[in-house]
Structure 1
């Protein structure tokens, strides 16, 4: 029996809830299978799925129920209103990272106005930060780095897909940026302590690249290294924007206070009231 859109949606939501998985994925899967927008689907809830759609929905639902992220099944995630391809080689972009980009742009306008600026995104992954900043802030010349060649393949494809001009360089942290001076450096590095793995959901642990998730020294090693290497390559005035784990603010702030003694350092909360960003304005 062919189900209506509403019946298929409710059945999958119930199964996802039973497995303690994200029920919102059911709607995203239906959008993918029907190639309709959320508004269209809501207007057509009583319409039946075609036989082909019903079969595809059933097959992909089985994958979803294993804990595989919906973004890997449909091949993309939206970030700042744009589609970004994702794969097992990159971290799925999160809404908190959109807040990092937004906060960086607000501060950049105050610091630099309409001047042409050089911006680097360290550990770019899918390219979401670099591509978004370049498109939203046209006077920014953006360079993005990653240690993973596989991640850079995804990032380059996302830049092309979104018609963004970003230069991509392979290398560890700021190492590929050493020959230039930078107005802004942004980074969302791996920051989860290795010992935290046991408390994480299998959807993240089993499917997302561990190199983009975990870091030594209780997740702080890369912030320490950035604080050591960035003073040599930052312009004055300059801006550094970092996404951090919600318990890391005091440690990361200390690294950058030591590295840039005269800077203004802000710890910023995300939409959930957690301390998830640090901005360092270099005077």
Structure 2
């Protein structure tokens, strides 16, 4: 029996969920090319914008303007009154599709990318080779985008940098999906990262961390990408809570006192791009 309740079951593939400044759940649907905002209490949903290059990570500048990752053209876009405009070009940093994003209170954005064609690798050989301890994913950089759209490298040689969050003590935590680990960094006043270390090793639990959400106590809720669960992980790798979802969980967000999970049977485009198998699922914390 699952622990969640299905809010919506008409998605293609939901990603990048965020608790918006207006209290609604904001999320991207890759293959509908839409960013949406959903009122969890009324069920009313709005299509905020359409992103032809496939939307992913979301965040807001201090003045409230929305930033959204455009995956296929490796850009961060900014929503103005007249529509989306280019905020930053990640082509000099991202080595494959741009992905999840965290925007901090200063308007600095940390943006991950695949690093290589993961979907093609899985289509060719399945997921099993990626889970072998001696298989090493290609490294790629985490991008740091300034509020003015300037782009720099925040950290190098990450194994599929994905969900990102800020811990209560100010450290940044990044889900390295294909390292099967959460990685922590110290954050300088200018947003630069240092002091890289493992926050939580997760390989023994077969958790390939995808989306994450940090709670007020410093626990990290993790979407495992390979299992129909969401896990709460503390520093060192201790799992304190487990929520069962109806299908594989790829992203999570904390909205008020609820955990929202984006689920789908798989992340492979050939399966989910043409069907509506994705769901938004919720559980009270």
Measured against the shorter chain, the TM-score band is under 0.3
Question: Normalization by structure 2: what TM-score?
Answer: 0.27
Instruction: Specify the structure having the higher radius of gyration (Cα).
Output: 1
